[in-house]
Amino acid sequence: MSEEVMTDNVEPTEVETVETEAPESVEAEAPVEEIVEEVESPEDKISRLEKEREVDNRKIARQKAAAASLHKKIEELKTAQQAPKPATQSDAPKEDDFDTYEQFDNARVEFKAQQIADAKLSEYQQGQIAQLEQQKILEQQQSFQKSEAEFRAVNPSYDDAREEFEQYVGSTEISGVVQEAIISQAHREGNIAEVINYFGANGGERLGELDAIVSMTPVEAAVEIYKIQQSIKSEPTPTKTKAKLPKPHNPIKGSGAKASKSVAKMSPRELVDRFG
């Protein structure tokens, strides 16, 4: 008789479930991106410098036009003031020149009134000339300060050159008309800071040239300053140089998440790597 296996009363065995914690995910460190420097090609540099020069030339042209207009107004006022001279006392009407006293008296009153009007007009014109001259000086100072600041930004040694120049001017006897001719010409071209630097740079090595210029006539001195200004313009414009960051010796590359960087700032190589 085979044994019978009784399964009716067998209680089911509970299986204890053991929960195991999943291993924490290891966050991948963002790799250091390789610094790719965009090198400006010679053609791009020439194009950029030409555009900058065009902008500078337009600015100088506007400044020249404004200065010329102001100078013209001053000259017109000076010419008008020199036109007919106000009547003097010797021009006063004389009683013997008239048939009646009434005619003489009327002429005398008109003469006196004309004298007063001429005096007022002359006073007004003098005031206008002084005002325009002051405006001209102020505009020249503002223009010089602006151009000087721009020039100093790309020429750190400019202040040393200016000090040499000012020491020379302060210790040298220069004719007033020659000095005015030199200053006017320097402002006319709008690069007076460059002229100062030309003479005072490197310990004032070109001050001998200035010594010869100040002994010339006003016209000759202005012409020499003009020549120097043109030679300065033909020289390449100095620009600020940015220090380049060294490239990593062994750039680290990885498949982790890259640091956020806008598409506009990406180099061509970065765009290909990311979207290629």
pLDDT tens, N- to C-terminus, the chain (276 residues): 444 444 455 455 554 554 555 555 545 555 555 555 677 888 888 888 888 777 766 666 656 666 666 666 666 666 665 655 555 666 788 888 888 888 888 888 888 888 888 888 888 888 888 888 888 778 878 878 888 898 899 999 999 999 999 999 889 888 889 988 888 888 887 788 899 999 999 999 999 999 999 999 999 999 999 999 999 887 765 555 444 445 544 544 444 444 555 655 666 566 656 665
Say whether both 86 and 142 belong to one domain. Answer: yes
The secondary structure element, H or E, covering residue 146 is: helix 101-154
Say whether both 147 and 171 belong to one domain. Answer: no
> Closest Cα to residue 163, out of 135, 203, 129?
203
In a domain, 164, yes or no: yes
Q: Confirm whether pTM is higher than 0.85.
A: no
> Closest Cα to residue 183, out of 146, 147, 137?
137
Through-space distance between the first and last CA atoms of the chain, rounded to whole angstroms: 80
DSSP letter at 247? P
Range of the structural domain that residue 80 is part of:
71-154
Task: Please give the Cα distance from 235 to 230 (Å, whole number).
Answer: 9
In a domain, 14, yes or no: no
The residue out of 154, 173, 193 marking a domain boundary is: 154
Domain count, the chain: 2
DSSP string, 50-76: HHHHHHHHHHHHHHHHHHHHHHHHHHH
In a domain, 130, yes or no: yes
